[in-house]
Amino acid sequence: MSAEPFVWPVRVYYEDTDAGGVVYHARYLHFLERARTEWLRSIGIDQSRLKRERGLVFVVSRLSLSFRRPAKLDDALLASCVLAERRGARLRFTQELRRADSGELLLDAEVLAACVNADSFRPAALPRDLFPE
């Protein structure tokens, strides 16, 4: 669906690591979330305004991660995001995390997000005007 991946730079901080200086597995989700959020912002979607004006929010409904290599303290990384599919109330993303200096793949992921009503958390159709063709 998307041709070029959206790429967002992230840095590994001490708070992201375990005692050995390796990124704790759950912290990778933060890096991926930042890339998706910044991608939305780059195409003009302000999530706070979407909730306030339309009563809609995005939630992750499923994800699959493949850890390839560890990220470590002070690493500069690139988190990418590609919208692979948009259907009904669902967005499917493919994402990667790579070292900024070498391009080495550290993690790849598939993330399903759902558009839901902010009050009921029931699925809501994606407004057509949010994602122009």
Give me the catalytic one of 16, 18, 75, 108: 18
Q: Which residues pair with 129 in a beta bridge?
A: none
18: annotated active-site residue: yes
Q: Would you state the structure tokens that stand for residue 37, as one six-digit string? A: 């959020």
Helix (H) or strand (E) holding 32: helix 27-42
Give which of 65, 68, 49 is closest to 57, Cα–Cα: 49
Give me the active site residues, please.
18
